[in-house]
Copies of this chain bind each other. A is one copy, B any other.
Amino acid sequence: MTDERRRKNKKATIYDIAKKTGTSTATVSRVLSSSGYPVKEETRKKILKTAKELNYTPNIIGRMLKKNDSRDIGVIIPTISNPFYPQVVLGIEMEARQKGYNILLCNSLRDPAIEKKYIETLYQKQVKGIIISSAGDNGNDEFLQEMQWMGLRIITIDHDIKGIGCGMVGFDYKKGGMIATEYLISCGHRNITFITSPLTRASRRDTMEGYRQALMNNGIEAREENILVGEREEEYESAAYEFENGKMMVRKMLQLDEKPSAIFAVNDMTALGAIQELVNSGFDVPGDISVIGFDNIEVSSMVNPPLTTVHQPAFETGKLAFGMLLESFEDPGANGGEDGHTWGDNNKNRNIIRNTILEPSLVIRKSVAVI
């Protein structure tokens, strides 16, 4: 009966192969899942042959359910259209592919509701772990924490999850901010404007902190009117917004009593906006005003003038994040104990936390002049 229903229209299963070869599903499974389990050469051959004939291809879902193990990981980012993320994602995927993992890509648009939904779905889909970049500042921290309790492996990019230790790969924004500012100073600039989109994220605040610090270290007063912060824009994080904001901040800057000789933009997109507005207003970059960016997105070397900027290793970030995730699979963690008791509050050693902070470096191109 059940036999009849098979081979009707459905894909072949190990059951079909067992039937056809006069063996058992156990044996078929053993050869087809390349378990290394000893099977007589003859039988193996026959099974392999029949599998081919029947166009057999394993159903991973069955295996997943049985082994309670998955080869998928979730990747949650604000939006892939922000040119920083494609490189990150590529870095993750290059590593993941090599290790036999697949990526479920999720764009949260920094909307906490969307993000939460994604986390939930990923969890239900039994992903083995997730790499998340929009975390922090947005209220899903407790939720993530819960998920981690329940066994989900989490690696964050650029943000700590408050309260729990989960791996993270970060970037030294403050140092980056200092490097950029110090370079400007070393080129003879004293009056430097910092332009940024709203300071809703720690990374931006840190970068600004670096700017301040560098000025202070060099005995330059950090005047508040030299820090131009974009309006809170509820539109989702997009390249277009950063660009527009750059233009807007330049317009604001142009009204300053004392015009700066250099602009430090919180990211490359903003820098591009600034340059365009400057050019439109008849200024030469860097002839009249210098501009330095932050991120070193791929196009920053392709624009005119090529942008001097601070390199943030996006691809490396992705690779590292996946590497850390992989390592975390090794740890016993919340769900791994033999006895099954949940670790209670002695969770200090629960996750071996290996945070990695990537270092910024300066990329000198042609958008900054020596004065």
A-side residues, CB < 8 A to B, are 7-9, 11, 55, 57-62, 64-65, 70, 72, 75, 79-81, 83, 85-87, 89-90, 93, 97, 102-107, 114, 120-126, 150-151, 239-240, 243, 269, 272-273, 275-276, 279, 298-299, 302-306, 335-337, 339-340
CA distance in complex: A83, B86 (Å): 8
The 6 closest A-B pairs by CB, nearest first: A9-B340, A8-B340, A105-B105, A80-B86, A272-B302, A60-B124
Contact yes or no, B79 A90, CB < 8 A: yes
In the complex, what residues of B have CB within 8 A of residue A83's CB? Answer: 83, 86, 298-299
Which of B90, B107, B239, B298 touches A298 (beta carbons < 8 Å)?
B239
Which of B121, B303, B339 touches A272 (beta carbons < 8 Å)?
B303
CA distance in complex: A56, B292 (Å): 51
Q: Identify the closest chain B residue to A285 (Cβ).
A: B304
Contact yes or no, A273 B299, CB < 8 A: no
In the complex, what residues of B have CB within 8 A of residue A335's CB? Answer: 9
CA distance in complex: A65, B64 (Å): 10
CA distance in complex: A339, B64 (Å): 30
CA distance in complex: A337, B10 (Å): 10
Contact yes or no, A302 B243, CB < 8 A: yes
Contact yes or no, A89 B97, CB < 8 A: no
Q: How far is the CB of A198 from chain B (nearest CB, A)?
A: 20
In the complex, what residues of B have CB within 8 A of residue A80's CB? Answer: 80, 86, 89-90
Q: Identify the closest chain B residue to A334 (Cβ).
A: B9
Interchain Cβ contacts under 8 Å between A and B, 29 examples? A7-B340, A9-B335, A57-B150, A59-B65, A59-B126, A60-B125, A61-B61, A61-B65, A61-B125, A61-B126, A80-B86, A80-B89, A81-B86, A81-B87, A81-B298, A83-B299, A86-B86, A89-B105, A93-B105, A93-B106, A102-B104, A102-B121, A103-B105, A105-B105, A243-B302, A272-B299, A273-B302, A276-B302, A302-B303
